[in-house]
Amino acid sequence: MGKILWLASYPKSGNTWLRAFIHNLMNTPKVGDVGGTDINSMATLTTGDSLVQWYRHLDSRPPLEWTRDDVARMRRGAQLAIVASKPDTVIVKTHNALVEVRGHSTIEMDLTAGAIYVVRNPLDLVISLADHYGVDIDKAIEVMNDPNNGGLADGNIVFEVHSSWSIHVKSWTQRPHRGLHVVRYEDMLGKPLHTFGGISKFLGLNVPRARLDRAIELSSFKNLRQQEEAKGFQEKSTKGSKFFRVGKSGQWKDTLTEAQIDRIVGQHKEQMERFGYWPLPK
């Protein structure tokens, strides 16, 4: 039995993009295959720690009857089920902060092989978050600043513990470790070869340059957006316009007001500075 390799991030930080890259990198292309991994088939290689399927054997009641306490208590059993589902390392997406809730850890470290954490500038993230939740930017800032923020259960996924952006980022990245690989969303955009190449090495994959280039291209925002436009994306929020919306950095400069920028920086300056998002560019 293996352990879990976490793909962790605050919501709307590039986690799905990372998963698409890993799928396209690890799946050997077939002759004539030009479209890459189907975005609606990524469960063939990766899974999510909040999917109800991992919890059902622990509580026979309808999932929407489970409380936050119930879910907190069941998380270890769910992660044990995930580990038991494959003979080797299981790649698992999570939006949970690495914290303890109601006396229970969100992430079981003894079941963990390592983690890739994606961090994104909160000034841009909040714009995507507003679209995802179907709220205005001021409300999205309120959500992102809330230490008690969490994703709601919907019958398919259980409660998630997001907390504030800063708490989430700090919880995963405050202790450097050889089993932790941190990447910035902005570098996935601006330095794709270096960034995705680093991810490939962290995964222990020594792939030819042509295969790496192909995985990067097939996982480009343009390709992912085209797939969503052609056949939809089952993970898209019912409140959002598109899942793969823009895929750019620096939108905040033309979108946020000075007051909104001040609210975000005032709450998150310490972690922003750690990752080069502060001071703001002139």
**Beta-ladder partners of 105:** 100
Look at residue 40 and tell me whether its pLDDT is greater than 90.
no
What pLDDT sits at residue 247? Answer: 65
Count of beta carbons in the 10 Å neighbourhood of residue 132? 20
Look at residue 58 and tell me whether its pLDDT is greater than 60.
yes
**Beta-ladder partners of 6:** 92, 115
Task: Give the separation between CA 190 and CA 178, rounded to whole angstroms.
Answer: 25
Residue in 11, 28, 25 with CA at minimum distance from that of residue 192: 25
**Distances in Å between the alpha carbon of 131 and those of 11, 39, 63?**
12, 20, 27
Contacts of 84 (CB under 8 A, 6+ apart): 1
User: Where are the alpha helices (H) located in the chain, listed in sequence order?
Assistant: 15-26, 68-84, 122-133, 137-144, 165-173, 185-190, 192-202, 209-218, 221-231, 252-255, 258-274
The arithmetic mean of pLDDT across residues 128-157, rounded, is 95
What pLDDT sits at residue 31? Answer: 41
Question: Environment class of residue 18 by beta-carbon count within 10 Å: exposed (0-12), middle (13-18) or buried (19+)?
Answer: buried
What pLDDT sits at residue 43? Answer: 72
What pLDDT sits at residue 35? Answer: 57
What is the pLDDT confidence band of residue 275, given thresholds at 50, 70 and 90? very high
Q: If DSSP codes are grouped into helix, strand and coil, which group holds residue 190?
A: helix
Length of the chain, please? 282
Task: Identify the residue whose tokens are 């792939």.
Answer: 207
Contacts of 175 (CB under 8 A, 6+ apart): none
Task: Give the separation between CA 155 and CA 51, rounded to whole angstroms.
Answer: 9
Look at residue 236 and tell me whether its pLDDT is greater than 70.
no
Task: Give the separation between CA 5 and CA 44, rounded to whole angstroms.
Answer: 15
In whole numbers, what is the pLDDT of the chain averaged over residues? Answer: 90
CB 35 within 8 A of CB 230: no
The arithmetic mean of pLDDT across residues 47-59, rounded, is 97
What is the pLDDT confidence band of residue 237, given thresholds at 50, 70 and 90? very low
Tokens at 154, concatenated: 């919907």
What pLDDT sits at residue 32? Answer: 46
For the 4-122+146-240 domain, the top CATH level (class) is alpha beta
Lowest mean pLDDT among 25-34, 59-68, 102-111, 150-159: 25-34
What pLDDT sits at residue 92? Answer: 98
**Beta-ladder partners of 7:** 93, 116
The arithmetic mean of pLDDT across residues 43-57, rounded, is 93
The arithmetic mean of pLDDT across residues 113-120, rounded, is 98
- Determine what percent of the chain is predicted with pLDDT higher than 90: 76
Look at residue 30 and tell me whether its pLDDT is greater than 60.
no
Q: If DSSP codes are grouped into helix, strand and coil, which group holds residue 94?
A: strand
